[in-house]
Amino acid sequence: MRLDILNRGYGPGTKLLFGLIRVFSGHPVPDAAKLVFYRPGFYGARAKKFTHEAMRGPSAWTVADRELMAAFVSKVNESAFCVGAHTATAGQAYQDGAKVHAVLADLESAPVEDGLRATLRMLGKLTREGKVGAEDMRQVLSAGVSRQQVEDALAVCAAFNTTDRLADAFGFELLSPEGFEAGAKYLLKRGYR
Amino acid sequence: MPDEDKKRAAHRALVDRVLNGEGRASPEQRARAFSNADIPPPLHALIGKVATRPAQVTDADFAAAKASGFSEDQLFELVISAAVGQSARLYEAGLAALAEATVNGEADNAT
């Protein structure tokens, strides 16, 4: 990572934990995990709580749908680490990696329900242009998405617009495909806490 | 607490901590990074990219900011402030558009 403190600025307890993760997972600790362990009182603790609430808290969206939203927002932001991580997680959650790749390649022709497609379209516009209007929201609502679901999707969008920026600014190292799959398994089992 | 309020409360707690909690960068510096406004060079290049085109951040952006006197811990905080700030604006913009599109909690499909 671009700041030495994020590579080396951890206390003995955290270093020991990173060592255990390496041994038991067979993979290095992902930079996304390291970031939230650095001075967690400043960012990590509250970021994990918000992200977990958005991604795993109660919602009419499935976990798979929300992971797909995370991957899609990350694709719009061109955040390679987060695209890799959440493409793998959404693929495992749906048990259908091809569906996730189809959405990222071409949303309009991808085999997803109209409500999810309209929601992803809106999140893409908001992330790309920094704004959306009432008409954009009416299109999502008229595709059968509830007001609550739109709010839930906006929380996912907020969480990943933060994480994407930090991944790219701090320079998260990409994982191997096996590393992303192992991370995905962890995220589906344990969430973001 | 309804679930949507739990999400928004958790988000507000994050924003509040980054802006107002204890830090190595001053609250004023963090507020400017959060807003991506009134940031002196050379830090403005790094913060501007974090806010609007994060994939283009380079080693040189960090090197220039460090050379101007910012510590790594200060840059850690200011980059986080910029990222949290931009996403908070997106969240607010989305929620405002949703509020405008709905009346009394129901979808307004009349227009």
pLDDT of residue B103: 75
Determine the average pLDDT of the residues in B41-70.
Answer: 97
Confidence check on the interface: ipTM exceeds 0.90, yes or no: yes
> In which domain, by residue range, is B69 found?
3-104
B 48-77 near A (Cβ less than 8 A): 49-51, 54-55, 57, 59, 62, 72-73, 75-77
Q: Is residue B44 less than 8 Å (CB to CB) from chain A?
A: no
pLDDT of residue B5: 87
A 81-120 near B (Cβ less than 8 A): none
Task: Judge whether B95 and B43 are in contact, CB under 8 Å.
Answer: no
pLDDT of residue B104: 57
pLDDT band for position B110 (cuts 50, 70, 90): very low
CA-based nearest distance A113→chain B, Å? 20
pLDDT tens-digit map of B66-102: 999 999 999 999 999 999 999 999 999 999 999 999 9
The reply to whether B111 falls in a domain is no
Q: How many domains does chain B have?
A: 1
Q: Given an 8 Å threshold on Cβ–Cβ distance, is A147 in contact with B107?
A: yes
The reply to whether B51 falls in a domain is yes
Domains of chain A as residue ranges with CATH: 39-190 (1.20.1290.10)
pLDDT of residue A75: 98
The reply to whether B35 falls in a domain is yes
The reply to whether B11 falls in a domain is yes
Which candidate from B23, B72, B101 shows the least CB-CB separation from A137?
A: B101
Partners of B59 on chain A (C-beta within 8 Å) are 2, 171
Q: Give the Cβ contact number of residue A92 at 10 Å.
A: 18
Among the listed residues A153, A121, A66, A163, the one whose alpha carbon sits nearest the alpha carbon of residue B98: A153
pLDDT tens-digit map of A65-91: 999 999 999 999 999 999 999 999 999
Q: Is the pLDDT of residue A111 over 80?
A: yes
Tokens of A36: 């939230």
pLDDT tens-digit map of B1-23: 666 589 999 999 999 999 999 99
The reply to whether B109 falls in a domain is no
